[in-house]
Amino acid sequence: MIEVEIKVPISDKNKIIQKLKNIGFIFKKSVIQKDIYFQHPSRNFVKTDEALRIRETPEEVFLNYKGPKIDTTTKTREEIEISLKNGKNLIKIFEKLGFQKVILIEKKREIYELDEIKASVDMVKGLGDYLELEILLDNRKQLDTKRELLFSILDRLGISKDKIIRKSYLELLLKI
């Protein structure tokens, strides 16, 4: 799966939420997410631009691998995700294999959807508020078209492309 993603900091989340609704986005849910990031014992994920995390919500747990970014204007990258029943046991396995916990990132996420586009309004502990727009693709053939669709939504929200941040919350918190 390829995740085409745009992230921008926002100063007034309520204003952005209202604009999303005006465009036609529908509120789906609000969730607390805790992301635990890991460092490989012999591979530097900072240098390879990869990430490995366990995401816990009150309802579910996921293991995510995120590959290197594949374009120069967005956070588009390959993402592999699997659902888990027990994240604590996987953490123990990782630690036994030499993986190290890097950081815990906590956020409240409000999710809105319009067709294939997911908009997340994130309140990230220690960072502030952000808007993420994303579309998932099966292959790269539609990458340019879908990226332009996200740019058009950003424009309709009155947000300049100059505000786009290509760094993950992990990179922002660690100041990488």
How high is the mean pLDDT in each 10-residue block of the chain (176 residues)? 95 96 97 96 94 94 95 92 90 94 96 97 97 92 91 96 94 87
Distance CA 69, CA 65 (A): 12
pLDDT of residue 140: 81
pLDDT of residue 23: 96
Tally the domains of the chain: 1
CA nearest neighbour of 129 among 155, 159, 156? 159
pLDDT of residue 87: 85
Say which amino acid occupies 10: I
DSSP 163: G
Distance CA 159, CA 11 (A): 11
pLDDT of residue 18: 97
- Return the half-sphere exposure (C-beta side, CA atoms, 13 A cut-off) of residue 33: 24
18: Cα separation from own chain's centroid? 21
> Does an H or E element contain 111, and which?
strand 100-114
The residues, ordered by sequence, that sit 6+ positions from 169 with a Cβ below 8 Å of its Cβ are: 35, 105, 107, 122, 124, 127, 130
pLDDT of residue 124: 97
Distance CA 164, CA 4 (A): 13
> Does an H or E element contain 35, and which?
strand 26-39
Say which amino acid occupies 42: S
Active site annotation includes 37:
yes
CATH of the domain at 117: 2.40.320.10
Selected catalytic residue, list 37, 112, 130, 169: 37
Range of the domain at 109: 2-174
